[in-house]
């Protein structure tokens, strides 16, 4: 089955890559985005409805115009640090925005939603790798806001028959292998684009946040998953719902962790130059290790990462960053 689907946050990083994957799978993605943090130029695979998910009248009009059969919901703020200093922003946008969207779906009888969740809903790991039944005890408002939306999905499921897949991403990374879209955060806070920027001279020296963790090389370990693999998982989740599959939450990761130093080594190999870096203190709220148990997504959605080997992740991210850099320098 294919048809029109609403993609909230389709002008953002994971949303735009998913819009491309949806179009390639035969769907018509209609992006709903306020362009607060997304980019109109990233909306290339279907129309853009510019507006806010907090605006119920806007949502009603967009739904009436396009008659979507399902929703993929990415629109959210996603900076952990900012969520600590401005929690109201996160609860309003992420929770109240999602509630507004779910009420609109209920009233327009749209039953299926794929939701962009996060491994930040788990908080500090008590066992690794993290499986979906690990306790969810987020340690920042960003993770808490996403967990609240998971709860909304369950309650709307019980009361109104809403059917959902919540995809809990680990570390989204990389860029479209065709070079059409990539990662553009402002401000940038993520390791890979910052390390590449430091190598290219577009970002300051990289600060390594903590070298005294109880890991093999003393730096934090994360599970980096290519954004194109994340996009494919959303299409698989949509098909799962369309085939009558039950509501579920699934981790999206590779199951393998890499340290900060391992990432820097790979960036240096791909860039062919060193990454200016300095060792610094730990960043508050960073667990030493986060690695997914991704067996459920494999079994239930038939999804396996295709391009999340670290060479593909770093080389696509590097090509995207280098092109942006070349465009902006005369």
Using rule CB under 6 A, residue 260 touches ligand UDP: yes
| Contact partners, residue 154, CB within 8 Å, separation at least 6 | 247
- Where does this chain touch ligand UDP (CB under 6 A) — which range of 20-28, 91-99, 179-187, 200-208? 200-208
Using rule CB under 6 A, residue 185 touches ligand UDP: no
Catalytic hit among 27, 79, 90, 142: 142
H-run or E-run covering 17: helix 13-24
Using rule CB under 6 A, residue 76 touches ligand UDP: no
Please pick, from the candidates 105, 114, 206, 270, the single residue that binds ligand UDP as defined by CB under 6 A. 206
- Where does this chain touch ligand UDP (CB under 6 A) — which range of 6-14, 37-45, 201-209, 315-323? 201-209
- From the number of C-beta atoms within 10 Å of its C-beta (0-12, 13-18, 19+), residue 75 rates as buried
Using rule CB under 6 A, residue 250 touches ligand UDP: no
User: What is the C-alpha separation between 99 and 78, in angstroms, rounded?
Assistant: 17
Nearest residue relative to ligand UDP (C-beta) = 220
CB of 266 to ligand UDP, least distance (A): 13
Using rule CB under 6 A, residue 50 touches ligand UDP: no
Residue 277 CB: number of other CB atoms within 10 A? 19
Q: Is the preceding peptide bond at 187 cis, omega within 30 degrees of 0?
A: yes
CB 43, CB 11: distance < 8 Å: yes
Q: What is the largest CA-CA distance in the chain?
A: 58
Which CB sits closer to ligand UDP, 70 or 206? 206
Which residues are at the interface with ligand UDP (CB under 6 A)? 80, 171, 189-191, 194, 206-209, 220, 222, 260, 283, 286
């Amino acid at each position: 089955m294919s048809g029109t689907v609403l993609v909230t946050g389709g002008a953002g990083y994971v949303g735009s890559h998913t819009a491309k994957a949806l179009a390639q799978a035969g769907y018509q993605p209609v992006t709903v985005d306020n362009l607060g943090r997304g980019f109109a130029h990233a909306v290339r695979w279907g129309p853009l409805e510019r507006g806010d998910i907090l605006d119920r009248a806007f949502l009603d009009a967009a739904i009436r115009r396009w008659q979507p059969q399902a929703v993929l919901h990415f629109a959210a703020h996603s900076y952990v640090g900012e969520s600590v200093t401005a929690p109201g922003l996160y609860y309003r946008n992420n929770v109240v925005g999602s509630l507004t969207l779910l009420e609109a779906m209920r009233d327009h009888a749209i039953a299926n939603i794929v939701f962009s969740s996060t491994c930040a809903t788990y908080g500090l790991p008590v066992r690794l790798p993290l499986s979906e039944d690990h306790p969810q005890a987020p340690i920042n408002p960003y993770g808490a806001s996403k967990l609240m939306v998971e709860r909304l999905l369950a309650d709307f499921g019980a009361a109104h028959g809403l059917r959902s897949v919540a995809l809990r991403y680990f570390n989204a990374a990389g860029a479209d292998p065709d070079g059409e879209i990539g990662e553009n955060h402002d401000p940038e806070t993520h390791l890979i684009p910052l390390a590449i920027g430091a190598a290219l001279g577009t970002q300051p020296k990289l600060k390594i946040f903590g070298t005294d963790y109880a890991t093999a090389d003393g730096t934090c370990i994360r599970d980096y998953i290519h954004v194109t693999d994340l996009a494919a998982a959303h299409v698989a989740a949509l098909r799962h719902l369309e085939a009558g599959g039950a509501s579920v939450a699934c981790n999206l990761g590779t199951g393998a962790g890499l340290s900060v130093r391992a990432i820097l080594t790979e960036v240096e190999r791909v860039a062919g130059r060193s990454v200016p870096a300095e060792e610094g203190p730990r960043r508050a709220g960073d667990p030493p290790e986060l690695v997914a148990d991704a067996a459920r997504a494999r079994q239930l959605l038939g999804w396996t990462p295709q391009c999340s080997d670290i060479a593909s992740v770093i080389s696509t991210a590097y090509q995207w960053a280098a092109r942006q850099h070349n465009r902006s320098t005369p």
